[in-house]
Amino acid sequence: MAKNFVWKSSKHIEPQRIGFVSTRFAGTDGVSLESTKWADALGDDRHESFWYSGRSDRPPDSSMCVPEANFAHPENVWINSRIWGVIRRDPVVSRRIHNVSDYLKLTLREFIERYDIGILVVENALAIPMHVPLGVAIAELLCEMPVAAIGHHHDFYWERQRFGVNAVPDYLDMAFPPRRASLQHVVINEVAQEELSRRKGLPSVLVPNVLDFENPPPPPDAYAADVRAELGLVPGDVFILQPTRVVPRKGIEQAINLVKQLGDSRYKLIVSHESGDEGEEYRQMLVDWAKASGVDLRFVAYRVGDVRQVDNEGRKIFTMWDLYSQADLVTYPSLYEGFGNAFLEAIYFKVPVIVNRYAIFGRDIEPKGFRVPTMDGFVTRRMVAEVHRVLEDAEYRREMVEHNYRVAARYFDYAELRRRLRTVIANIAGGTRINGA
């Protein structure tokens, strides 16, 4: 924790009207999920939450949806196509960045005034430059209006190779994130905290991602009862779930290697998500590798959605919660993660999980005392033997998942989130100068 962070009591902090700001509040991405948890925790202390974004599934009476704020808006897509992977930008691009930014700043002012916002919570829009005009608009707004703000930073641009070569170093320095006394920075892991200090000279508060371990998930209901059959599994099959998008940093080839070395045709590897915007070449490589390895690999994103529903062919669409409730093992061989929500989700549903020791896991999560089979970039015989025991020894598996649930309930529960947010709100609402800007 930064030396100049001041702890204050939250006893005398009046309920605040909190305005969450991001490019999107919809679906099951990390920003959407974690912002909901923050709003729930803040609501426990009688704070009210309101929402500004380019795409939204939040209540209409407390939301302002501005399509131009969505990172997928055509104007922003046009700008992004001309600023990443190059080192010089055309003056036309600069003008269009400013035009969009000026418009978004007006809408942000309207949002603040409409809902009488006291504190802004900027969800990743000042950290990852998916929408440069929005970041610039927020940074300028904080210079122009007497509004307190919290920057909830999930991942920074320097953590992504795709942003390494760019034509906007001035905007990155100015707005991702900006240096303002009225802006309190919050990060989700220790590495980000250290890098923010080293690169920007800014202190921050660490607030890890959480789940509601105070309230375990209910038993699977009738809707989820036939997940396995609907995904083509037969009695006796072992459901191994890879609950991630199909992108190279997820390390899915190691999940295939694990199933290959387990050497049992009953073990089926199920991938829950699509490839996203990073192309199909990696997915095809996985298909080819699984075929060569004799591994039954299945992509089931077409059967998974944000909510339960029926598709045009009359097939049931399941949620990730439905899949977790039926899985026998979760594979999480990621090379990099900002935190690791899928890890916590597996623990929450008491499913054993295997993990690659990505940096944040090794630094922020593993030392808490979880019992999980781990690897360091590749599958070993020791790991294969451990996974085989987890899958075949019911008592050993039960002891493991119960232990992991207790550990997570201690360190990554809503109670911990509430405690840390009370401190953050107390500091920002009380006007404490914490950022030295």
Can you tell me the distance from the alpha carbon of 183 to that of 79, in angstroms, rounded to the nearest whole number?
Answer: 27
Compute the half-sphere exposure of residue 130: CA atoms within 13 Å on the CB side of its CA: 19
Residue 75 has pLDDT above 80, yes or no: yes
- Statement: residue 342 has pLDDT above 90: yes
Q: Are 179 and 172 in contact (CB under 8 A)?
A: no
What secondary structure does DSSP assign to 309-340, as a single string? EE-TTSPEEBPHHHHHHH-SEEEE--S--SS-
pLDDT of residue 300: 96
Q: How confident is the model at residue 3 (pLDDT cuts 50, 70, 90)?
A: very low
Q: Which residues pair with 121 in a beta bridge?
A: 20, 150
> Distance of alpha carbon 73 from its chain centroid, rounded?
21
**Residue 429 pLDDT more than 80?**
no
Please write the tens of the pLDDT for every residue from 243-301: 999 999 999 999 999 999 999 999 999 999 988 656 689 999 999 999 999 999 999 99
Q: Do 169 and 88 contact (CB within 8 A), yes or no?
A: no
Please, which pLDDT band fits residue 12 given cuts at 50, 70 and 90? low
Phi, psi of 381, rounded to the nearest 5 degrees: -60, -35
Instruction: With a cut of 80, say whether residue 61 has pLDDT above it.
Output: yes
What pLDDT, on a 0 to 100 scale, did the predictor assign at position 9?
42
- Straight-line distance from the first to the last Cα atom of the chain, in angstroms, rounded to the nearest whole number: 17
Which pLDDT value is given to residue 1? 38
Is pLDDT above 80 for 225? Answer: yes
> What does the pLDDT read at residue 29?
84
What pLDDT does residue 278 have? Answer: 61
The fourth-level CATH superfamily of domain 224-411 is: Glycogen Phosphorylase B; (3.40.50.2000)
**What is the mean pLDDT of the segment spanning 308-317?**
93
Q: CA–CA separation, 108 vs 343, rounded Å?
A: 35
Question: What is the tens place of the pLDDT at every residue in 376-417?
Answer: 999 999 999 999 999 999 999 999 999 999 999 999 999 999
The pLDDT assigned to 431 comes to 57
Per residue in 27-43, pLDDT (tens digit) is: 878 899 999 999 999 99
pLDDT in tens, 348-357: 999 999 999 9
**Between the CA atoms of 110, 111, 113 and 119, what dihedral angle is there, to the nearest 10 degrees?**
-140
**pLDDT given at position 30:** 85
Q: What are phi and psi of 259, to 5 degrees?
A: -65, -40
pLDDT at 5 (0 to 100): 39
Q: With 70 as the cut, is the pLDDT of residue 434 above it? A: no
Task: List the CATH code of the domain at 17-210+414-429.
Answer: 3.40.50.2000
Give φ, ψ of 53 to 5 degrees.
-165, 175
Of the two residues 89 and 274, the one the predictor is more confident about is: 89
**Is 326's pLDDT higher than 70?**
yes
Query: Residue 372, CB half-sphere, CA atoms under 13 Å: how many?
Result: 32
Q: In the prediction, which pLDDT does 14 show?
A: 85
> Does residue 11 have a pLDDT over 60?
no
DSSP strand E in 128-244: where? Answer: 148-153, 183-187, 205-206, 238-242
User: Among the residues of 61-189, which ranges form H helices?
Assistant: 74-80, 91-114, 132-144, 169-175
**What Å distances lie between residue 364 and 121, 126, 185, CA to CA?**
24, 23, 18
* pLDDT 10s digits, 99-126: 999 999 999 999 999 999 999 999 999 9
pLDDT of residue 370 exceeding 70, the answer is yes
Q: What DSSP string describes 23-90?
A: S-B-SSSHHHHHHHHHHHHHHHTT-EEEEEESSB-S-GGGEEE-GGGSTTSHHHHHHHTTTBS-S---
Distance CA 418, CA 73 (A): 34
Q: Is the model more confident about 433 or about 216? A: 216
Q: What is the pLDDT of residue 210?
A: 94
Q: What is the pLDDT at residue 435?
A: 41
CA distance 291 to 221: 34
pLDDT at 421 > cutoff 90? yes
| Mean pLDDT (whole number) for 86-111 | 98
- For residue 372, which of 174, 362, 113 has the smallest C-alpha distance? 362
In a 3-state reduction of DSSP, which class is residue 354? Answer: strand
* Alpha-carbon span 49 to 55, nearest angstrom: 17
Question: 426, 9 in Cβ contact below 8 A?
Answer: yes
Domain extent listing, the chain: 17-210+414-429, 224-411
Output the pLDDT for position 436: 37
Q: Which of 10-14, 74-78, 180-184 is modeled with the greatest confidence?
A: 74-78
Mean pLDDT, all residues of the chain: 92
Residue 9 vs residues 343, 391, 423: alpha-carbon distances, Å: 33, 47, 7
Residues 191-197, mean pLDDT to the nearest whole number: 96
Please give the C-alpha separations between residue 337 and each of 12, 30, 360, 361, 429, in angstroms, as whole numbers: 37, 11, 7, 8, 31
Which element (helix H / strand E) includes 120? strand 119-123
pLDDT at residue number 276: 63
Cβ-based neighbours of 151, under 8 Å, separated by 6 or more: 122, 126, 127, 177, 183, 184, 185, 186
